[in-house]
Structure 1
Amino acid sequence: MAGNSQRKGAIKKSGKGNPTAGSGGRVKRGLEGKGPTPKAKDREYHKAHKVAKRAEKAAATKPKRRTSGDAEWIIGRNPVVESLREGVPVNALYVSEGAERDNRLREAFQLAADKGIKLLEVTKSEMDRMVGAGVHQGLAARIPAYEYAHADDLIDVAAVNAEQPLIVAVDHVTDPRNLGAIIRSAAGFGAHGVVIPERRAAGMTAAAWKTSAGAAARIPVAQTVNLTRQLKAYQQAGCMVVGLAADGEVSLPDLDLATGPLVLVVGSEGDGLSRLVAETCDQLVSIPMANHLESLNAGVAASVALYAISEARR
């Protein structure tokens, strides 16, 4: 009977008992495409995939550069003009509407034009809101967040210049003006970088930028979570660590380590070197004074020591 599937011989069976008549079913599915061939780096068994994975892992483990946080403001006519003169990096100059055009304001406008810094006019209320507390006198400069170097990279800076490393480490100096003065001296006397602790210490604020007279743009400044650990890392890299201390056993003129790879540690304004940092130093060096009751602040002490080291290296 037509259409009777039970009739003997009506359907041909395959070896596995599956129908093979026509082009549908299993045969049709077998003819379907599997899409484009994956890229080499996406195939797990391919060498390119393994190379890409190693690169991703290296990028993930590399320490990120720290920044000083949000951008900061320099306010007031004299501070802004002085900062522009000294080369402090400025993103933009803001002037409030109706501000009196005196010589300082005109000089600020001219310096901004010479340096290609954009000038924006805002209302006084908007200026007050942007800069917060403080007398801005109708003029403010916005400086970018500072990008710190990696502390381990400072030795590489010396290697590139084929010089013996000279690094200045700062132990809990809290006055940004002292920090700026240390950075300025470090740049002036040929140091390859400055290291500062991340906590309980001054950072690269507007005040530090200004006091450095633009030197912070010419010499790398690095932050470290643990200064003692970083000093030990420098020692393992072949550097001698020398700390400035009023009771140092070696007088600065007698320092015989000045010509080799050296890390100079400058202590805080009042307490000097912390105990762990002092114990880590290979030598403690004192600056001879005419009157033992007198002492130098951190910025001046660093300048004197760096000058002596520079003379010894000539």
Structure 2
Amino acid sequence: MAKGEKKRAMRGRAGRMQGGRGSGRSNTGTVRLWGRHAVEAALKNPNRTHRKLWATREGEAALDGELPEDFPVAYADVTDLARMVARDAPHQGLVLECEPLPDLHLEEVLDEDGGPVLILDQVTDPHNVGAILRSAAAFGAAAVVTQDRHAPPESGVVAKSASGALETVPWIRVVNLARTLDTLAEREFWRIGLTGNCDTTLAAALPTGPVALVLGAEGEGMRQNIEAHCDALAKLPISNAIESLNVSNAAAIALYAVATRGE
């Protein structure tokens, strides 16, 4: 920012971002977020209710936009902030306490976005879910869907790994993934389960219409019932030198394949 240039004020409670979208609610308490990208995105998200920001002077100055005059800010040093977050978490001088994002239903996002849908079957590592949200944002996915009881809660770890994408990619939590896959079939989505136990590559399995990509937990893969609800199974053409990819890496490659099909 040039010297003397005034930052634009953040809109709303602490900022409103046009088109901001929330994720499914995983808890009823407050959520603590940290790191510049995660905090800044949350402050700009109109679906967030913010409680308080703890910040160093440098951390607040690094934000893109100015907080409203009445926004509750408590200034703290780096050591104090480190006590408020996960051990060794890179808070970058910013910790935000806010309410969880509101619930969303899959039908809401399918009506407004033609991108692929990612179905995560018992992917529980918050770093992986955050990284998948980041890739989903990069490649224009319509939503990430998880089963409510077998996925990490909304948290600072997820938000930091997502680097802001938690606020922009709908994270839909459902009771039953199989029923969700049935709903996607009714909406004419071609459901592709990613697995190493097949001969068809993802490129060969991709259709021209809407796609739902189904990924299972590392090691165990998709459950049998979820696999049975897929229209096709496909693998990524990786070298025999490695057994499998991290699920977040596999999601990014699969999303890229969808984004570039037909080129």
Fold equivalence (TM over 0.5): yes
Partner of 2:35: 80
Partner of 1:71: 30
Larger Cα Rg: Structure 1 or Structure 2?
A: 1
Q: Does 1:302 align with 2:260?
A: no
Equivalents in 2 of 1:133, 1:111: separation in Å? 22
Q: Does 1:289 align with 2:244?
A: no
Aligned 8 A contact 1:249 1:285 in 2: yes
Partner of 1:25: none
* 1:172 maps to amino acid: Q
The aligned runs of 1:1-314 (5 Å cut-off) are 67-69=25-27, 70-74=29-33, 79-81=34-36, 83-84=38-39, 87-89=41-43, 91-94=51-54, 105-111=56-62, 114-116=65-67, 118-121=72-75, 131=84, 140-158=95-113, 163=114, 165-257=115-207, 259-291=208-240, 293-312=242-261, 314=263
Aligned 8 A contact 2:142 2:170 in 1: yes
Provide the TM-score with structure 2 as the length reference: 0.74
Higher relative contact order at CA 8 Å, sep ≥6: structure 1 or structure 2? 2
Equivalents in 2 of 1:127, 1:311: separation in Å? 42
Shift of 1:312: 0.3
Equivalents in 2 of 1:186, 1:110: separation in Å? 29
DSSP 3-state at the match of 2:122: coil
Equivalents in 2 of 1:142, 1:256: separation in Å? 42
Provide the TM-score with structure 1 as the length reference: 0.63
Aligned 8 A contact 1:184 1:212 in 2: yes
Shift of 1:252: 1.7
Shift of 1:208: 1.2
Write the deviation string for residues 203-258 of structure 1: whole angstroms up to 9, x where unpaired. Answer: 3322111111111222212111000111011112211110111113311232232x
Equivalents in 1 of 2:262, 2:117: separation in Å? 14
User: In structure 2, do the counterparts of structure 1 residues 300 and 148 end up closer, same or farther at CA, with 3 Å as the change threshold?
Assistant: farther
Shift of 1:68: 2.8
How big is the alpha-carbon RMSD for the aligned residues of Structure 1 and Structure 2?
Answer: 3.1
* 2:98 maps to amino acid: I
Q: Which runs of 5+ in 2 are unaligned?
A: 1-22, 44-49
* 2:25 maps to amino acid: T
Shift of 1:80: 3.4
Aligned 8 A contact 2:24 2:102 in 1: yes
Shift of 1:148: 3.2
Aligned 8 A contact 2:37 2:163 in 1: no
Aligned 8 A contact 2:202 2:236 in 1: yes
User: In structure 2, do the counterparts of structure 1 residues 115 and 273 end up closer, same or farther at CA, with 3 Å as the change threshold?
Assistant: farther
* 1:108 maps to amino acid: G
Aligned 8 A contact 1:84 1:108 in 2: no
DSSP 3-state at the match of 1:93: strand
Equivalents in 2 of 1:294, 1:132: separation in Å? 35
DSSP 3-state at the match of 1:203: coil
